[in-house]
Amino acid sequence: MLAKKYQYIFQNCRPFVISNGANLSHFNMSPLDGTIEKSEQFDCLKMEAAQMFDLVQQCDQVSFGDQGMAMEKWVMFDCAAMPGAIVGFAIEANKLDQNYLKLLKVPKGYQGLVPVSFYMAIPTVEKGSWFGHNLSSLGNRLSTPLPGLGLLTKALAIDVLQIKTMYGATQWGSVAIKIHAALAPMQLMSAYTPAHTHPMSLCYKSNYDRKSIQDVMAQKERVLADHEVLIHDDEARIQALQKQIEAGEKWVLLDKPWREKEQWFYPIAQAAS
């Protein structure tokens, strides 16, 4: 059973998916507590998807513009909608406040769905395995904020796309790590990543199953095993950890980080290789 804050989101938002028609038939359209109706399934190869696609791009611009990581429209098409999918929550335009409509540059008179969050993921060559490359939630920009929207959006995408193994890259210090680590322990595939725009990025791998995702959405806590605490801006330790990983050691971020003053603290532990 979903915790109350997630039920509230399902009561006030509509789940949606954007992909191409051939992919759509492979997805689970009855995820978590909801159903994705035909009118909420957008085929990026059809003209009728154009407006929703533009609004998702604007959502991305608002979320990532200030980090220099906003996507060109062709990247959304080539690297998300065509090979994989964009899954999120939306609200009908007439139920949204003017400030939000302005923020998303919603055209006057538009009556359709306006995205408030999304997750983008692409399948990799490993069977059942995906790379999640974008998570955005504007839940705190609404006149009635939607706490929990970021976490619920990723859980929704996992269930729609039936993801068993997820890879992703994110920056140490990003709030999003709280979401990724809440859903499952994260094996650190890299701790310091010079190939990324931001070298202080980690790349992770997580395994999901329906039962454990349901437990997270019911807000059941995991028991935390013995761990070391890593601080988000300790570049020396993070580079040393990268060397340990490259030498074959397996390191896992066990659970959600916590924040004190301006620093994030991560419970990490070495696992058997």
Contacts with ligand COA, residue ranges (CB under 6 A): 63-64, 135-137, 139-140, 147-151, 170, 174-176, 178-179, 182, 259
Q: Give the nearest distance from C-beta 43 to ligand COA in angstroms.
A: 25
Task: Using the minimum distance from each CB to ligand COA, give the nearer residue, 175 or 218.
Answer: 175
d(CA 112, CA 52): 8
Min CB(122)–ligand COA separation in Å: 14
Tokens standing for residue 163:
């993801």
CB nearer to ligand COA: give 15 or 148: 148
Of the pair 15, 139, the CB lying nearest ligand COA is at 139
Residue closer to ligand COA, measured from CB, 175 or 271: 175
Closer by beta carbon to ligand COA, 222 or else 244: 222
Distances (CA, A) of 170 to 114, 131, 156, 173, 180: 26, 12, 19, 9, 10
Q: What is the smallest separation between the CB atom of 25 and ligand COA, expressed in angstroms?
A: 29
Q: What is the closest distance, in whole angstroms, from the C-beta atom of residue 137 to ligand COA in the complex?
A: 3
Contact by Cβ (8 Å): 150, 134: no
* CB of residue 146 to ligand COA, shortest distance in Å: 7
- Report which of 123, 114, 81, 91 is spatially closest to residue 10, judged by C-alpha positions: 91
Cα separation of 243 and 148, whole Å? 35
Closest distance to ligand COA from the beta carbon of 45 (Å): 27
Tokens representing 260 are 């004190």
- Residue number, nearest CB to ligand COA: 150
- Residue with Cβ nearer ligand COA (44 or 149): 149
Cα Rg for the chain, rounded, in angstroms? 19
Contacts 24+ apart (CB under 8 A), 97-100: 97/142, 97/143, 99/141, 99/143, 100/138, 100/141, 100/142, 100/143
